[in-house]
Every structure is written in structure tokens, then in C-alpha cells.
Structure 1
Amino acid sequence: MLKLLGQARLPLVLGHGFGTDQSVWKHLIPYLIDDYRVVLYDNMGSGSTNPDSFDFERYAYDLFAILEDLQIDSCIYLGHSLSSMTGVVASIFRPHLFSKLILLSASPRFINSDEYYGGFEKEDID
């Protein structure tokens, strides 16, 4: 589900973290809508979307499709957790679409291994 809030011209796209949906931003929205055109969306597999549709490899492409559909040629992107990395990956492939990245609780890797603690066991993600 895609939502646009606020009448300002400057787009601010909010990407939620793994295991959540766009509702995590509900307390922040009132502080943003006077200054930004806020774009809310659910990643595939989250919120009202089919959970079987989760596929991180398509997250950046879904973000590109949203920006294209809304005719946004540059935005501020605020991503939480997994969506932080979506913003990073998307900005590498199409840097002109992002004037700023704001990354909350970003991690380059979420799965634990012998040498790294990411917070999740592989079985948790599966």
C-alpha cells in the first residue's frame, strides 16, 4: 500500500525495517507533513502485502518503481534497518534519485556467523 502525505514539494521517502510495516512512522508523520511530501510504502512481504512475496533482491527495484510512478526525480530517503541498506544499494545504482540518505540502525549484514554478530540466526530469517 502506497501513501502520500503532505503538500510540500520536497519528497521524503520512508522505508520501514524488517518485520514491520509503514505504520512504524505514525508518530513521526505529524512532524514531517508541513515540510515534506511524505511517501510511505510497504516492502513486499510486509504489511498488507503477501508474506510469501519477500525478496530482498527486489527491494531496490521496487523503490525505483515507486519513484518512477510518482515522477520523483530526487528525494530524501529515510530507511530503517533493512530499508537502510535498500537505500544504500539503490543510491549506488541510481545516485541522481537521492539527494540525501538518512540511515537508522543500518547494518551491512543481519545474519550471525562465527566471525560476525548481525542479530539473527539464518533459521530466524528463513
Structure 2
Amino acid sequence: MHPILIRNNVKILGEGSQVLLFAHGLGCAQNAWKYITDAFLEDYRVVLFDHVGAGDSDLSQYDQQKYATLEGYACDIIEIIQALDLKNIIFIGHSVSSMIGMIAALQVPEVFKKLVFIGPSPRYLNDGNYIGGFNAEDIENIFTHIAHDYVAWGKQLATEAMANSDKPELFDFLQECFEAVDPSVALAFAMATFKADYRDKLKKLEVPSLTLQCKNDAIVPLSVGEFIYKNTPDNFLVVMKATGHFPHISAPDETIREIKDFIEATGLKSTSDHPYAQGNFSHP
């Protein structure tokens, strides 16, 4: 097996020719997609992987300098694509991996067909009229909490970010995901995430993209989804009925439906009768 595929614990599933590349967010691994991937296996070729430091990736390949920024993670995605000789990819990223996918698509746009962003944010820190959801003190408290008691931080985040109190089993699953990540790696990934600012990159994206934004997301406010929609060419924003930051876990059916509607659409803005045709975004 190619060393890149070992490094990122790459798994390939499904029967179709169209490639879907799923990228998990901070504190998770590829198993976070388990609630939705079965719905795609009959018609698509599904590629899953773990960011280095997460899941069953090769921790010996972790490079503190490389992964100090999101560009390091984007580099890995490009290397996975090259190792598998993938073309015409539909990329599906959750949270910070949405921007990681965007970075990759800016570098090699020719291999990407569409991008799906689930709970994305180009900047988490508030800045003037831009409301990212966190002030500087909030973010420093996150870093301190992770450094001093990562397990407690993971439990708190699982509670706040899942936002589905009627489904306690989802809290347990998410907390287990967090606890499986090396705390030092989680802290470095959090620092790369919360210090990032990719707002100026949005306008350069050439690949059509979908932003799936949940209501009552404790990590990413609705204003961020609207900012991405307004500042990104060929971006389409759907505000889901789902709540929280993990709709692929808490609301898999709705997430599957929205992804399929977007990736199966042809023509996009040129097809006037399609819900994505006019660049519309919906508020259920």
C-alpha cells in the first residue's frame, strides 16, 4: 500500500465511479461519517481518511511545524488525491475541514467538481462587523482548557456542540471520538483552526460549493454561513432544520438529502428550475 494511504488510514468503499472524499473535523476521525456513508455506497465511490493525529492515522508522521496551519492538512489531502489518481472529486468537509478542502481546491482546482461545506467558518474570531462567534478571550480559554484537561473540554464541547439533548447516545459517541485524539495534537489542531482567517480566499474559489448551516450552532453562527454565501462565487447556502454543529451525526437523513440534491444537480445556476439554480438559500 502507498505510504500516504497508510499515513492517513485511507479507506475506499462503494461501487460507483463518482468519487466522494469525506474529511472529518477537529476532535473526530473518519468514523464520524458512519451515520451517512451507507447512503452513498451504491452509487458512489467513497474515500475516507483520518487527519494525521486522529483515528488510526500514523502518529509517527505528525510534524508539529507542518500542521501548525491548515495548509499542512490541505497538503495531505492533495497527496491522497495524487496517490489514488483521483479526478472530478466531490469533496465533503465538516467544520474546519471545509476550509482545508477549500485550500486544496484553490491549489488544484482541476481535480475538484464540487465542494460541500458542513458548518464551515473562514474565521472563528469576531472582527468588527464580522461575527465569527468567539472573542479573543473565548479562544484563549479554549486553548487553556484543552491543555489542562482535554477530556473535560471534550465532554463540554460534545454537550454544547451536539445540541440534541434528547439523544444522549450522540453525546457519548462524540465524546468517545474526542477522547481518541492525542491531546497535544488536538491542541495544535485547535490553534491552527481558531487562529485561521481565510475570508480573503473565498472570492478566489472557482469550484461550485454548498454551505450546510444548522440552526443554533454553538460553534458557527448563521452570520458566518451568510458571509460565505455572499463572498464566494457559485456558493449555495441551505439553513437546515437540524440543530447543533454535527448534522451528519444528529440529522443524517436531512444531511444525506441536502448533499445528494446538490451533488446530483446539473447545470446549477443555468438550470432555473433547480433549488440551487438562482443561488438561493433557504430558511426552513
Normalised by the size of structure 2, how large is the TM-score?
Answer: 0.41
Q: What residue ranges of structure 1 are gaps of 5+ in the alignment?
A: none
Matched, 1:33 2:51: no
State the identity as a percent. 34
Report the Cα offset of residue 48 of structure 1: 2.0
Indicate conservation of the 8 Å contact 2:20/2:45, yes or no: yes
Residue by residue, what CA displacement relative to the aligned partner does 1:48-100 show, whole Å, maximum 9, x if unpaired?
Answer: 23299261331111001111111102200000001100111111111111100
- Give 1:46's aligned residue: 54
Matched, 1:90 2:104: yes
Indicate how the Cα distance of structure 1 residues 52 and 73 shifts in structure 2: closer, same or farther if over 3 A, else same.
Answer: closer
Distance 1:35 1:80 in 2: 21
Letter in 1 for 2:31: S
| 69-78 or 53-62, which deviates more | 53-62
Which is helix-richer, 1 or 2?
2
Matched, 1:64 2:78: yes
Letter in 2 for 1:48: D
Partner-residue secondary structure (3-state), 1:121: helix
- Give 2:94's aligned residue: 80
Q: CA RMSD in A?
A: 2.2
Partner-residue secondary structure (3-state), 2:56: coil
Indicate conservation of the 8 Å contact 1:75/1:100, yes or no: yes
Structure of higher RCO (CA pairs closer than 8 Å, 6+ residues apart): 1
Which is strand-richer, 1 or 2?
1
Distance 1:21 1:118 in 2: 24
Indicate how the Cα distance of structure 1 residues 9 and 52 shifts in structure 2: closer, same or farther if over 3 A, else same.
Answer: closer
Indicate conservation of the 8 Å contact 2:23/2:97, yes or no: yes
- Give 1:5's aligned residue: 13
Q: What residue ranges of structure 2 are gaps of 5+ in the alignment?
A: 1-8, 147-189, 192-284
Distance 2:21 2:79 in 1: 13
Matched, 1:20 2:28: yes
Report the Cα offset of residue 45 of structure 1: 1.9
Normalised by the size of structure 1, how large is the TM-score?
Answer: 0.87
Q: Which has the larger radius of gyration?
A: 2
| 98-107 or 54-63, which deviates more | 54-63
Report the Cα offset of residue 118 of structure 1: 4.3
Distance 2:80 2:109 in 1: 16
- Give 2:122's aligned residue: 108
Distance 1:51 1:16 in 2: 20
Indicate conservation of the 8 Å contact 1:76/1:99, yes or no: yes
Distance 1:30 1:48 in 2: 21
Distance 1:21 1:4 in 2: 15
Letter in 2 for 1:105: G
Tell me which stretches of 4 or more aligned residues in structure 1 moved more than 3 Å.
112-120
